[in-house]
Chain A
Amino acid sequence: MIKHILKRLALLIPTLFGVITLVFLMIALAPGDPARIMLGERANAEQIAQLRAELGLDKPLIQQYGLYLSRVVRLDLGKSIATGQQIAREIADRFPATIELAWYAMIFATVVGMFLGVTSAIRRNTWVDYTTMGGALVGVSMPVFWLGLVLIMVFSVWLNLLPTGGRMNIRYYFTPITNFYVIDGILLWIREGTPKYLWSAIQHLLLPTIALGTIPLAIIARTTRSSMLEVLQQDYIKTARSAGIREKRVIYRYALKNALLPVITVIGLQFGLLLSGAILTETVFSWPGIGRWIYISIGARDYPAVQGGIIFISTFFVLINLAVDILYSVVNPKIRLQ
C-alpha cells in the first residue's frame, strides 16, 4: 500500500516535467512575438527590444527553457506583466476562492449525482429513470456559461432572490480570515455572534455552485447508474438478499460500495476538469478566483501569468488523480492487499 503510493508519487515528477515543458513550448511557439503582442500595435522597436530582454526572449530557445525550468523548480513563476506582482502570490491569493467554489460544486455534483444514479438504477425503465437520465443528458449538453447566465437571469434578475456575483455582500466591509468565506462566516458567527457573513457567503455560493456542478452531476449520475445496474446483477447481491439483509442496506452498502470504483474515477476527473469550468463560471459570476484571473490575464496578454496559472491548474489536476488512485485502494481490498 505505502509502496504503491510512493510509486505513484515518483511518477508525478515526469508528469509535471511534461506539463511544464508543454506550457513553455505553447507560449514560446505561439505565432508572433510575445513582446510585440503584449505591447500592442503602437509600441516602438526600442520598447519591444527592452521587453524581449526583460522576458529573456532574446536568448536561444533552449537557454530560455533552461532558465524557465530552473525558476519553476524553485517555485518562482515570475512576475505578472499587468500588475508587477509575484505570480505565485497572485495565485495564492485567489486559490481559496476557486477551491471553495470547486469543493461545493463537487459535493453538490457527487451527492445529488450519486443519489440520482442509484435511484435510476433501482427504478430502471420507469418514468423516474427516464426523467433523470433525460435531465442528465440535458445537463451534460449545457454550456456552463450559458447555464450561469440563465441562473442569474431567473434567480437574480427576475426573482431577485440571490446575488448576481461576487463572494460576499460588499456593504459588510468584510475582512477575510482564512479566505474560505464559509469558514470565515462560521468563525465570525462565533466571534461576533452574527450569522450574516455566513448567510451571505452561502447565498453567493449557491448559483455558481449549481452552474459549475451541473455537468459533473450529470456525468456522475450516468456513471453511477450504469455501474449500479451491473453490480445489482451480481451473485453477491442475491446472497445478501437471501440472508435477509434489508433492501436499502443491500443497495446503499453492499451494491454501492462495489459500484463506486468507476464513479470515483469520474469524480476525480471531473474535479480536475472543474477547474477549467471554473474559468467560465468565475467569469460569469465575477468570482475572484484563479479561473477569472486567467481569463483576465489572457485578455491582457499577460503571458507569464497565463503560464503560471496553467502550470498551477495542471499540477492540481495531477495531484487529484493521485488522490483518486489512493482512494481506489481504500475502496478495493484487492488493490490494497496486493
Chain B
Amino acid sequence: MAEKKEILLSIQNLSFSFDTQRGVVNAVRDISLDIRKGETLTLVGESGCGKSVTAHAINQLNPMPPGKVDHGKIMFRGTDLLTLKRHEIEKLRGTQISMIFQEPMTALNPVFTVGAQIADVFMTHQHMTKQEAMERTIDLFKLVKIPAPERRVNSYPHQLSGGMRQRAMIAMALASPEPGLMIADEPTTALDVTIQAQILDLLNDLKHKIEMSILLITHDMGVVAEMADRVVVMYAGRKVEEADVFSIFETPRHPYTLGLLNSLPSNTKYKNARRLEAITGTVPDMRTIGAGCPFENRCAYASEKCGQEFPTETVLGESHSVWCHNYHMVKEG
C-alpha cells in the first residue's frame, strides 16, 4: 500500500455475543479492523467464525436480542454506529452502507418484481416518484450489465438465473446517491464458478468506477486473491492474522492461515498429489472457549502457553500483524 487513504470505517475492539437457551455464545471477541476509502478488505474464516456477525454488527442487522454488543466501537464517518437509534441507522442503510448477500435465491423478495424492490430503495431515501425510481433502476441494471433491463425490471426473482439475481442484488446495493461501503457477505458462494468470476469482475469494476469501499466476507481463498487489498483472517471469533493480500499468500504466519492456504487445490505442491490437505480437528464449541488461543487444539505448533492466554499482536511489517505465540516457527510448507 503505497499511499494511505482516509479511514472510512473503523471497528475498534468489538465483542459481540448471543444469549442462547444453551448458554452465551461469544461470537466475536475483541475484533478491530479499519477499512480505507476505495479499499477492499476481505474477512476470511470458516463458517461460524464470526465474520458475518462482525459485518452485520456494522449496520445493526444482527437480531438483538438475543445478540448483544459487549463492548467496542464502530466508527463510520465520525460517528459511532453502535450508539445510533433505529431510525438513524435506517437512514444510513442503503445510502452509505449497503449490503449484498450470499443466496441471491432467497435474498430477493419472491412476491415483488426485482424492479419494484430496487425502486423502493430510491423512493425511501430520495423521495422519487415511482417513475423516476424505475428509470434509475433501469440505469442501474445497465450498470451491472443485466441484458434487456427494461424488461428485466418487471421480472420476479424466480424468473431470473442465479447470476442475474446476484446482479440485481448488487444493483440494489448501489441504489444510493453516495455509496460509501458495500458489505458483501459471501456474494459468490452460491453461484457457478463461471458466474462467480463475472460477479467478482463486476464488483471490481464498480469499485473503481464509483470509488466505494468493500468489506468482502468469504471462506474462499481464491476469491480473496481475486479481490482483496487487505485480508483479515478470523478463527472462532478472534482475529488471528491481518496483512496485505501479497503477504497473506506469500508469508502467512498464523498456523490457521497456513492451513487454509495448504488446503487450496491450486496450491503448487498439489501438482502430483492425490489428496488435499485438511486442517485436522474441528472448530471448538463457541460456548466453552477459554482465555487461550481457540486454535490451540488443532495447531501443530501449540505450546503450553497457547492454552492459557490469547497472544497479543505481533507486528511483522507495515501492514502485517499476527496473533500467535509461536509465529516464528510457522513456515510455509
Residue of B86, B93, B98, B109 contacting most chain A CB atoms (<10 Å): B109
Across the interface, do A257 and B111 meet the contact criterion of CB distance under 8 Å?
A: yes
Asked if A4 CB lies within 8 Å of chain B CBs, one says no
The complex places the Cα of A258 from the Cα of B112 at a distance, in Å, of 10
Residue of A239, A242, A254, A333 contacting most chain B CB atoms (<10 Å): A242
Across the interface, do A236 and B59 meet the contact criterion of CB distance under 8 Å?
A: no
Kindly state the interface size class of chain B when it binds its partner.
Answer: 20 to 34
What distance in Å separates the Cβ of B325 from its nearest Cβ neighbour in chain A? 38
Residues 206-264 of A contacting B (Cβ, < 8 Å): 234-236, 238-247, 249, 254, 257-258
Asked if A334 CB lies within 8 Å of chain B CBs, one says yes
Contacts of B173 in A (CB 8 A): 243
Residues 67-125 of B contacting A (Cβ, < 8 Å): 86-87, 90-95, 98-99, 101, 103, 106-112, 117, 120-121, 124-125
The complex places the Cα of A70 from the Cα of B156 at a distance, in Å, of 48
What distance in Å separates the Cβ of B65 from its nearest Cβ neighbour in chain A? 10
Given A242-B61, A245-B94, A337-B159, A235–B107 Cβ distance below 8 Å?
yes
Asked if A331 CB lies within 8 Å of chain B CBs, one says yes
Across the interface, do B125 and A244 meet the contact criterion of CB distance under 8 Å?
A: yes
Contacts of A243 in B (CB 8 A): 93-94, 98-99, 120-121, 124, 172-173, 175
In-complex Cβ contact of B158 among A244, A245, A257, A334 (8 A): A334
What distance in Å separates the Cβ of B159 from its nearest Cβ neighbour in chain A? 7
Across the interface, do B124 and A245 meet the contact criterion of CB distance under 8 Å?
A: yes
Asked if B140 CB lies within 8 Å of chain A CBs, one says no
In-complex Cβ contact of B124 among A234, A242, A244, A337 (8 A): A244
The complex places the Cα of A244 from the Cα of B126 at a distance, in Å, of 12
Across the interface, do A242 and B156 meet the contact criterion of CB distance under 8 Å?
A: no
In-complex Cβ contact of B172 among A234, A239, A246 (8 A): A239
What distance in Å separates the Cβ of A192 from its nearest Cβ neighbour in chain B? 44
Given A235-B101, A245-B124, A333-B156, A240–B109 Cβ distance below 8 Å?
yes
Asked if A63 CB lies within 8 Å of chain B CBs, one says no
Asked if B138 CB lies within 8 Å of chain A CBs, one says no
**Closest A residue, CB atoms, query B90:** A244
Across the interface, do A258 and B121 meet the contact criterion of CB distance under 8 Å?
A: no
Contacts of A333 in B (CB 8 A): 110-111, 156, 158
Asked if B169 CB lies within 8 Å of chain A CBs, one says yes
The complex places the Cα of A240 from the Cα of B120 at a distance, in Å, of 9
Contacts of A242 in B (CB 8 A): 59, 61, 93-94, 98-99, 101, 183
What distance in Å separates the Cβ of B64 from its nearest Cβ neighbour in chain A? 12
Contacts of B121 in A (CB 8 A): 243-245
Across the interface, do B111 and A332 meet the contact criterion of CB distance under 8 Å?
A: yes
Across the interface, do B95 and A239 meet the contact criterion of CB distance under 8 Å?
A: no
Across the interface, do B124 and A246 meet the contact criterion of CB distance under 8 Å?
A: yes
What distance in Å separates the Cβ of A214 from its nearest Cβ neighbour in chain B? 30
In-complex Cβ contact of B110 among A240, A245, A334 (8 A): A334
Contacts of A236 in B (CB 8 A): 106-110
What distance in Å separates the Cβ of A260 from its nearest Cβ neighbour in chain B? 8
Contacts of A331 in B (CB 8 A): 111
What distance in Å separates the Cβ of B278 from its nearest Cβ neighbour in chain A? 30
Question: Please, what's the 1-or-0 string for A296-338, where 1 marks a CB less than 8 Å from any CB in chain B?
Answer: 0000000000000000000000000000000000011110010
Residues 123-180 of A contacting B (Cβ, < 8 Å): none
The complex places the Cα of A112 from the Cα of B108 at a distance, in Å, of 29
Residues 139-191 of B contacting A (Cβ, < 8 Å): 156, 158-159, 169, 172-173, 175, 183
The complex places the Cα of A243 from the Cα of B111 at a distance, in Å, of 17
Contacts of A332 in B (CB 8 A): 111
In-complex Cβ contact of B92 among A244, A246, A247, A337 (8 A): A244
Contacts of B95 in A (CB 8 A): 244
What distance in Å separates the Cβ of A124 from its nearest Cβ neighbour in chain B? 11
Contacts of B120 in A (CB 8 A): 243, 245, 249
What distance in Å separates the Cβ of A1 from its nearest Cβ neighbour in chain B? 14
The complex places the Cα of A254 from the Cα of B158 at a distance, in Å, of 16
Contacts of B117 in A (CB 8 A): 240
Contacts of A246 in B (CB 8 A): 87, 90, 124
**Closest A residue, CB atoms, query B87:** A246
Contacts of A234 in B (CB 8 A): 106
Across the interface, do A239 and B110 meet the contact criterion of CB distance under 8 Å?
A: no
What distance in Å separates the Cβ of B314 from its nearest Cβ neighbour in chain A? 36
What distance in Å separates the Cβ of B184 from its nearest Cβ neighbour in chain A? 11
Across the interface, do A241 and B125 meet the contact criterion of CB distance under 8 Å?
A: no
What distance in Å separates the Cβ of A123 from its nearest Cβ neighbour in chain B? 12
Across the interface, do B110 and A244 meet the contact criterion of CB distance under 8 Å?
A: no
What distance in Å separates the Cβ of B72 from its nearest Cβ neighbour in chain A? 21
In-complex Cβ contact of A239 among B91, B156, B158, B169 (8 A): B169
What distance in Å separates the Cβ of B228 from its nearest Cβ neighbour in chain A? 22
The complex places the Cα of A242 from the Cα of B109 at a distance, in Å, of 13
The complex places the Cα of A308 from the Cα of B7 at a distance, in Å, of 79
The complex places the Cα of A235 from the Cα of B99 at a distance, in Å, of 12
Across the interface, do A235 and B86 meet the contact criterion of CB distance under 8 Å?
A: no
Contacts of B156 in A (CB 8 A): 333-334, 337
What distance in Å separates the Cβ of B53 from its nearest Cβ neighbour in chain A? 13
Across the interface, do A254 and B109 meet the contact criterion of CB distance under 8 Å?
A: yes
The complex places the Cα of A239 from the Cα of B94 at a distance, in Å, of 10
Contacts of B106 in A (CB 8 A): 234-236
The complex places the Cα of A258 from the Cα of B108 at a distance, in Å, of 12
The complex places the Cα of A226 from the Cα of B99 at a distance, in Å, of 28
Contacts of A258 in B (CB 8 A): 109-111
Across the interface, do B93 and A239 meet the contact criterion of CB distance under 8 Å?
A: no
The complex places the Cα of A332 from the Cα of B112 at a distance, in Å, of 9
The complex places the Cα of A87 from the Cα of B200 at a distance, in Å, of 73
The complex places the Cα of A337 from the Cα of B156 at a distance, in Å, of 9
Contacts of A337 in B (CB 8 A): 156, 159
The complex places the Cα of A91 from the Cα of B158 at a distance, in Å, of 47
What distance in Å separates the Cβ of B76 from its nearest Cβ neighbour in chain A? 14
Residue of B94, B172, B183 contacting most chain A CB atoms (<10 Å): B94
Q: List 6 A-B contacts (CB under 8 A).
A: A235-B101, A236-B108, A236-B109, A238-B101, A239-B107, A240-B109
Return the 6 tightest CB-CB contacts between A and B, nearest first: A244-B94, A244-B93, A242-B99, A243-B94, A235-B106, A236-B109
